[in-house]
Amino acid sequence: MPDSLSITASSVDPALLTLPWSTPLGEWPSSAIVSLPKGLSRHLVRFSSLSGRVIAVKETTEEMARREYDMLGNLQRLDAPCVERVAVIAGRKDSSGEPLPAALVTAHLKFSLPYRALFTQVLRPDTATRLVDALAVLLVRLHNVGFFWGDVSLSNTLFRRDAGAFAAYLVDAETGELHESGLTPGQRAHDLDVARTNIAGEIMDLEAGGRLEGGVDAIAIADGIMSSYHSLWAALTDAETFGSSEAWRLTERVQRLNDLGFDIGEMSIETTADGTKVSIEPKVVDAGHHQRRLIRLTGLDVEENQARRLLNDVDEFRVRVSRLGDDEDMAAHEWLTRVFEPVVKAIPFELRSKLEPAEVFHQVLEHRWYMSQAKGRSASLAEVLASYIDTVLRHRRDEATLMGPPTETMSLPVITADLPVIDDDDDGVDWRDLV
């Protein structure tokens, strides 16, 4: 290790020492740089390869690097969606002994993209709306654990595809504050106002560069985060009063929260002296309801909407196909081995970095619906896979660690002709057994 170099990390990867820390980040050689799209940042950021994974290196002050490193660690412990911290590099000096800025190192989130990389030519209104909705969910989750962001924007967020929607992750916690007692309405309103202003500016910037579809109202898109946020926050936190004879409304409230992807960890229930009224108020609301159920049943760890879609398929399989009756755990295992895993194995090796497996499976189900509609009959999974691989997946850019130009949003083609059925391959899976 160079004499003055200081590395702070929960577990130090020796490969960190091989990076050119004595060189200003802007002058790192191409051999140390990985080309990935990145969002706008007030700091210089470069991507590099470390022990088979991609890391992001950001130059900043030592104080800010350590503060953000600690904040990311706290957010991870609270299970908040954010990038993973790796290390703080301090005490850097160049070859002449002059000090260099400290660096914060974080792990690149696989299959994630900055918002500017989610379109090729122009940003469509529906894509912009889905991004803003995802950011609203992220902000609610952060506020729910007492995190005040201070600089909410699309640029400070990474997005992963999530069964037709997007899942958002915080990528810059530099201005954040964690309040154990929770946030005041004023703090939440401030974050929302900053979000609205920043989003409007980011969309207008795209418009100025000719990268916004004609007729799109940047202000209306930015305003969308206000309604999305308030609607979700109310569903999670509002107290509710109803008659004691309407106990079904308690079950309905829990189901409504589950449908939004949240679990109630604690609920306060109060009745009046004569028992005519019942008041409920959720106390602790945890995100990831469908994720936790899918992990319990199958061991698959995916995004929330993907989990919801996969669980629907598990439930349909259990009703239509499974020989194991009402045993949910066994039926889910049968679905995993007979349906999900064969689909994943069918993807040619060279295409497996295009999308993560759960998103591929979701898109295969979507493709099956389109094909069935076009053909006027139920398309078999085998022919759907052949079509999807050849007409959709093969033409996508890789998203595991997207190199070079940004990716484009998927547009499913209209199927106009019969396509070949997949032949059996050498892994022993017979596609004629799939339904």
User: Do 123 and 233 have their domain in common?
Assistant: yes
pTM for the structure as a whole: 0.76
In percent, the amount of the chain with pLDDT more than 90 equals 42
For 141-162, what is each residue's pLDDT tens digit?
Answer: 999 999 999 999 999 999 998 8
Q: What is the CATH number of the domain that holds 85?
A: 3.30.200
pLDDT of residue 420: 31
In whole angstroms, give the CA distance from residue 157 to residue 167: 10
- Domain count for the chain, please give it: 4
Nearest CA among 105, 251, 232, 236 for reference residue 168: 232
Taken in order 248, 249, 254, 260, the sign of the CA dihedral is: positive
| Own/partner long-range contacts of 289-297 (Cβ < 8 Å, ≥24 apart) | 289/257, 289/258, 289/261, 289/262, 289/263, 290/258, 290/261, 291/261, 292/263, 297/328, 297/329, 297/332, 297/333
The parent domain of residue 140 ranges over 112-237
Strands 45-50 and 102-107: unpaired
Whether 306 is covered by a domain: the verdict is no
Q: Render the burial of 352-367: b for 16+ CB within 10 Å, e for the rest.
A: bbbbbbbbbbbbbbbb
229 with 250, same domain: the answer is no
What is the end-to-end Cα distance of the chain in Å, rounded?
A: 58
SS3 158: strand
pLDDT tens figures, 225-279: 999 999 999 988 888 888 877 878 888 888 888 888 888 777 777 877 777 777 7
415 C-beta neighbours (distance < 10 Å), count: 20
Sign, Cα dihedral of 50, 54, 58, 62: negative
pLDDT of residue 424: 33
Is residue 434 within 8 Å of 341, Cβ to Cβ? no
Q: What are the residues whose beta carbons fall under 8 Å from the beta carbon of 300, sequence distance 6 or more?
A: 294, 307, 310, 336, 340, 358
Q: What angle do CA 16, 21, 22 make, to 5 degrees?
A: 150
Supply the CATH number for residue 163's domain: 1.10.510.10
Same domain, 141 and 196: yes
What does the mean pLDDT of the chain come to? 83
Give the SS3 label for residue 90: strand
Max mean pLDDT range (160-174, 320-334, 412-426): 160-174
User: What pLDDT shows up at residue 330?
Assistant: 87
Residue 390 has pLDDT above 80, yes or no: yes
Say yes or no: 145 and 227 in one domain.
yes
